[in-house]
Amino acid sequence: MSTTELLRREWSAFRRPGRLTALAAAALAVIALGLLYAFGNQASCPGPCPTAPVTGDGATVSDRFWFLHRDLGREGSITVRMTSMTGTITYPPPDHDQIVSGLVPWAKAGIIVKDGVRPGSQYAAVMMTGQHGVRFQHDYGHDVAGGPGGVSERSPRWLRLSRSGDTVTGFESADGEQWRTVGAATLDGLPDKVQVGLFAASPGDLTLRKVGLGGATEEVRFTQAVGVFDNVTVEGGTTGAWASDSVGEMNHTDWEKYHNASGAVEKEGVIRVSGTGDIGPLGDEGARTVEKTLPGLAVALVVALVVAARYGARPGLGTPSRQVIAARMAVVGAATFVAGAVAVGVVLPVGTAILTGNGIPVQPISVLTGARLVVGVPVVLALCAVLAYGLGVWLRRGWAAILVGLSLVALPYAVTSVPLLPDPVSEWLLRLTPAAGFAVKQTVVEYPQVIAHYAPSAGYFPLPWWAGLAVLCAYTVIVVRMALGRRQAADTDWR
């Protein structure tokens, strides 16, 4: 019998109403739960909801800080001496009931060149940070380290930004005489007139609250940074008064209302700039990632494992041949892939459109990343089904194959997707079990200049997508070889 005829025969044997109905129900569960999630998330604000900052390429970012600024032409520079940097953290752990002095690691204050004051516009900045020394950052995702240490009255830090056309270069100096280049950036399409000046920002203080069996959920506390500057000189800019504005909304918290409002104050040549917020690649306005529309994957995974395991262990006349086993694996995998592709192909674009329509910003993804999700997630489901089928052939007991398959794949995936286990335990489960394959759906990117909860329960997998897929493939190959080995052993016993 030819391979095509064998596949047709096995497809005819597989397509029983019960199996097809189960796979259709799995696809519908992915779609229904994804749409339920999308419809259940709506922006709700006392007044008009603030618009999330969006860059020129459509990415949602953080862009909120206080800005003391003036015009700068195509050729020019700004030089300042930063004499101190202080800050405030409200309600920090352990009791969350205090207001203390201090700086979060990525609090920042310094000088910046920016294409206007619109949140999300191009920029380049050189700054002092809370715990990471001098940095040169531009266009949200780019960060270059400069000198270490902080600033004080005894050891102030000089900072300089120079613009030449579309190129902005950042410098630092200990004495204002000997300068060291920190970094440079080319901001394509930068207009002739930009804004240059002093800024301060401070992201929320991230703390983790223990829940479940050692899992953690995020809590973010308000913080504020204050930079003090003198010896401010601008070349190539306009003369006259500085403009003082917040980029993004500010001065709404109780701390700012009743204690220290963010802003800029100048007295006798000394400028004090205080601000909150952040300038970085991850949006702080509640932006979602597209894989959040896939909460139904756990249901689809369980259904696929049960159907495949029962099919592999179903009673028959002896052990099927190796060719028949291979054909049945192909049929099981193909049927599961089609069901998964339909579900993911529907829920991703529709769920994203619903979230956007409800006022919830969604991080854009590239065409290649979208293709990885639409193709990769069904491939993972198909590989899991083949693995379960192999377990059914090998164990010859449907209930045993189902139990092993669920314990090996579905359970690790389920317990790591919620804040139940300690983060290190969840990370190792997603390194060592077949559930690692679901890293194909990850779109979260870890940025060293952004403190976030990079954990499985927050959608971050410890392995890159290709490595996670390789782990699943390795498990599947091992189980397939064990299943085919049973047939070989049966042939040996017969002889």
pLDDT digits (tens, 9 = 90+) for 265-291: 999 999 999 999 999 997 655 678 999
Strand pairing class (205-211; 65-90): unpaired
Residue 269 lies in a domain: yes
Both 126 and 238 in a single domain? yes
- Tell me, what's the pLDDT at 164? 96
End-of-domain residue from the set 280, 301, 333? 280
For residues 359 and 250, give the distance between their C-alpha atoms in angstroms, rounded to a whole number: 21
Confidence category of residue 386, pLDDT binned at 50, 70, 90: very high
461 in the Ramachandran plot: left (φ > 0), alpha (ψ -120 to 50) or beta? beta
For residues 55 and 63, give the distance between their C-alpha atoms in angstroms, rounded to a whole number: 10
pLDDT higher than threshold 70 for residue 41: yes
Token readout for 167 is 């190129």
Residue 330 identity (one-letter amino acid):
A
Q: Which residue has the higher pLDDT, 236 or 199?
A: 199
pLDDT higher than threshold 50 for residue 8: yes
Residue 52 lies in a domain: no
Q: Which residue has the higher pLDDT, 97 or 467?
A: 467
Both 228 and 354 in a single domain? no
Confidence category of residue 495, pLDDT binned at 50, 70, 90: very low
Confidence category of residue 58, pLDDT binned at 50, 70, 90: confident
Partners of 160 in beta bridges? 79, 171
179: domain CATH number is 2.60.120
Mean pLDDT, to the nearest integer, of 53-61?
Answer: 87
**b/e per residue, 258-273, with b = 16+ CB within 10 A?**
eeeebbbebeeeebbb
Both 335 and 462 in a single domain? yes
Both 454 and 311 in a single domain? yes
Both 273 and 387 in a single domain? no
For residues 427 and 383, give the distance between their C-alpha atoms in angstroms, rounded to a whole number: 21
Contact 275, 246 (CB under 8 A): yes
Q: Which residue has the higher pLDDT, 427 or 490?
A: 427
Both 28 and 172 in a single domain? no
Both 314 and 459 in a single domain? yes
Residue 45 lies in a domain: no
Strand pairing class (263-267; 270-275): antiparallel
Count how many domains the chain has.
2
- Tell me, what's the pLDDT at 244? 96
The percentage of residues in the chain with a pLDDT greater than 90, rounded to a whole number, is 76
Residue 489 lies in a domain: yes
pLDDT higher than threshold 90 for residue 233: yes
Residue 55 lies in a domain: no
Residue 54 lies in a domain: no
Instruction: Collect all residues with Cβ–Cβ distance below 8 Å to 108 and sequence separation of at least 6.
Output: 125, 127, 128, 129, 130, 135, 199, 200, 201, 202, 225, 279
- Tell me, what's the pLDDT at 205? 92
pLDDT higher than threshold 90 for residue 431: yes
Mean pLDDT, to the nearest integer, of 159-174?
Answer: 97
Lowest mean pLDDT among 170-179, 270-279, 369-378, 478-487: 478-487
Both 479 and 431 in a single domain? yes
Mean pLDDT, to the nearest integer, of 352-360?
Answer: 91
- Tell me, what's the pLDDT at 285? 55
Both 194 and 156 in a single domain? yes
Confidence category of residue 87, pLDDT binned at 50, 70, 90: very high
For residues 423 and 461, give the distance between their C-alpha atoms in angstroms, rounded to a whole number: 11
For residues 196 and 357, give the distance between their C-alpha atoms in angstroms, rounded to a whole number: 36
Both 115 and 11 in a single domain? no
- Tell me, what's the pLDDT at 492? 45
- Tell me, what's the pLDDT at 241? 83
- Tell me, what's the pLDDT at 212? 87
Contact 70, 232 (CB under 8 A): no
Q: Can you give the three-state secondary structure of the chain, one letter per residue?
A: CCHHHHHHHHHHHHCCHHHHHHHHHHHHHHHHHHHHHHHHCCCCCCCCCCCCCECCCCCECEECEEEEEEEEEEEEEEEEEEEEEEEEEECCCCCCCCEEECCCCCCEEEEEEECCCCCCCCEEEEEEECCCCEEEEECCCEEEECCCCCCCCCCCEEEEEEEECCEEEEEEECCCCCCEEEEEEECCCCCCCEEEEEEEECCCEEEEEEECCCEEEEEEECEEEEEEEEEEEEEEECCCCCEEEEECCCCCCHHHHHCCCCEEEEECCEEEEEECCCEECCCCCCCECHHHHCCCHHHHHHHHHHHHHHHHHCCCCCCCCHHHHHHHHHHHHHHHHHHHHHHHHHHHHHHHHHHHHCCCCECCCCHHHHHHHHHHHHHHHHHHHHHHHHHHHHHCCHHHHHHHHHHHHHHHHHHHCCCCCCHHHHHHHHHHCHHHHHHHHCCCCCCCCCCCCCCHHHCCCCCCHHHHHHHHHHHHHHHHHHHHHHHHHHHHHHC
For residues 128 and 110, give the distance between their C-alpha atoms in angstroms, rounded to a whole number: 6
For residues 436 and 428, give the distance between their C-alpha atoms in angstroms, rounded to a whole number: 9
Both 201 and 327 in a single domain? no
Lowest mean pLDDT among 52-66, 260-274, 306-320: 306-320
Mean pLDDT, to the nearest integer, of 100-116?
Answer: 96
End-of-domain residue from the set 280, 301, 319? 280
Mean pLDDT, to the nearest integer, of 450-459?
Answer: 91
End-of-domain residue from the set 228, 249, 280? 280
Residue 47 lies in a domain: no
- Tell me, what's the pLDDT at 300? 98
pLDDT higher than threshold 80 for residue 153: no
pLDDT higher than threshold 90 for residue 10: yes
- Tell me, what's the pLDDT at 494? 37
Both 411 and 370 in a single domain? yes
Confidence category of residue 317, pLDDT binned at 50, 70, 90: very low
Residue 46 lies in a domain: no
Measuring CA to CA, which residue among 292, 281, 286, 287 is closest to residue 441? 292
- Tell me, what's the pLDDT at 282? 79
- Which residue range(s) make up the domain with 430? 3-40+287-494
